[in-house]
Amino acid sequence: MLFPLVINFFMAVICYIITVRLIPRLKDKFIKANLFGIDMSKTTSDKIPESLGVVTGCTFLITMFLFIPVPFGNSLLYKANFPQDEFVKYIAALLSICCMLFLGFADDVLDVPWRHKLLLPTIASLPLLMVYYVSFNSTTVIVPKPLRDMFGTSVDIGLFYYLYMGMLAVFCTNAINILAGVNGLEVGQSVVIGLSIIIFNVIELFGNLSKAHQFSLYFMMPYVAASLALLKHNWYPSSVFVGDTFCYFSGMTFAVVAILGRFNKTALLFFIPQVFNFLYSAPQLFKLVPCPRHRLPKFNSKTDRMECSLVVFKYSEINVLGKLCLTIFRKLKLIQWKEKSDTIITNNFTLINLVLLYTGPLHEAKLTSYLIAIQVACSVLALIIRYPFAWIFYDV
């Protein structure tokens, strides 16, 4: 079991070295291809190459392809014992990730509308769900001890389990993309999630599902390595932007290991800040409250600090549901509120703005560091929930 993992680790290190050198060399090519953005939080308006996540994705995929002979090499020599089912899992996982990388890149180039952003990951996750159906088809959920009198020890939720896994792929891909807008945040949060999954896999490596966790590690180590290389160039002050390509690629990689590594509920625990950001953003995402094209914090060039970005609207134009959300957010002190007759001025509903609301204006690098610290703290919380807490509620 250890040999392929050790090889995978060294291949991940090589993947990091190649990616970190490749990115600066390809920057000009991206600008020539009109793939660039302007950093809205800087005084200069230099062209910053965008969608460099595609380079990370490609070096990751190449590493994964080159790795195939390592776990399957022995079986290739003795064809009769070739583990077809393991191989199909590996290939389907790569297919889903590859599809999402392609769709993410298409999104960066063509600017796909929002509703399609929900559809694309659903379709890209189908090969994965098929393999899950053929290999495991386990749709049983263990009931927590306090509810066992009502529901029994376990409940088979059938089709809903597949619905949940499909939604997990959609959520993972989009949740990272909407917690974005300050240098290094998209990749920073993804690296923390990736490292948290690695820690969890290592803890579980000697448990009953060791094969599944080993499978997850094969993907996670090269993923984290390639992403760290991107982070080096995307950290403040960013010399490249990651693009939606990276967010989609990351989200799908997490969904793949969660589903085929058989920890799709634990995986969601590593997304606590993203779940919060999604719920907090929901009134704007579902257009109950106006949602500008960009919700990233506002840069104050005089102080070199980031401030909450604001949204202005007429209270009378908001529907009942929107008004209810606004009231709840105000009661929970999640938003600032300025009222001038019918006109309301409040902050955009993102976790980034919420941090700024409580800390006051911050330098961009410090803001990213705070948000990454929140992600790390939530991962620690996730492991506490998964272990000491789970021992209270389940027979583990």
39 touches ligand UD1 by CB under 6 A: yes
Q: Which of 8, 56, 174, 177 binds Mg ion (CB under 5 A)?
A: 177
Shortest approach of Mg ion to residue 107 CB, angstroms? 9
Beta carbon nearer to Mg ion, 38 or 380:
38
Shortest approach of ligand UD1 to residue 348 CB, angstroms? 7
CA distance 295 to 347: 9
Q: Is the peptide bond before 237 cis (omega within 30 degrees of 0)?
A: yes
In 3D space, the residue among 141, 159, 161, 160 whose CA is nearest the CA of residue 151 turns out to be: 141
244 touches Mg ion by CB under 5 A: yes
50 touches Mg ion by CB under 5 A: no
**Tokens representing 339?**
């009222």
In 3D space, the residue among 168, 194, 220 whose CA is nearest the CA of residue 15 turns out to be: 220
Q: Which of 182, 224, 228, 308 binds ligand UD1 (CB under 6 A)?
A: 182
- Please identify, among the stretches 122-130, 161-169, 267-275, 294-302, the one whose residues bind ligand UD1 according to the rule CB under 6 A: 294-302
Beta carbon nearer to Mg ion, 186 or 204:
186
Q: Which of 89, 262, 295, 305 binds ligand UD1 (CB under 6 A)?
A: 295
For the chain, the straight-line distance linking the first and the last C-alpha, in angstroms and rounded, comes to 24
Shortest approach of Mg ion to residue 176 CB, angstroms? 9
Q: Which residues contact 361 (CB under 8 A, 6 or more apart)?
A: 300, 303, 305, 306, 307
Number of residues lying near ligand UD1 (CB under 6 A): 18
Q: Which of 97, 99, 180, 269 binds ligand UD1 (CB under 6 A)?
A: 180
Beta carbon nearer to Mg ion, 8 or 250:
250
Q: Which of 4, 24, 37, 361 binds ligand UD1 (CB under 6 A)?
A: 37
Q: Look at residue 26 and give the partner it binds from Mg ion, ligand UD1, none, a contact being a CB closer than 5 to 8 Å depending on partner kind.
A: none
How many CB atoms neighbour CB 327 within 10 A? 10
The string of DSSP letters for 332-347 reads TT-S--EEETTEEEEE
Q: Which residues contact 365 (CB under 8 A, 6 or more apart)?
A: 183, 184, 235, 236
Beta carbon nearer to ligand UD1, 8 or 281:
281
3-state secondary structure of 134: helix
Q: Which of residues 243-262 bind ligand UD1 (CB under 6 A)?
A: 244
Q: Which amino acid is at 363?
A: H
CA distance 35 to 47: 9
By CB under 6 A, name the binding residues for ligand UD1. 37-41, 50, 177-178, 180-183, 238, 241, 244, 294-296
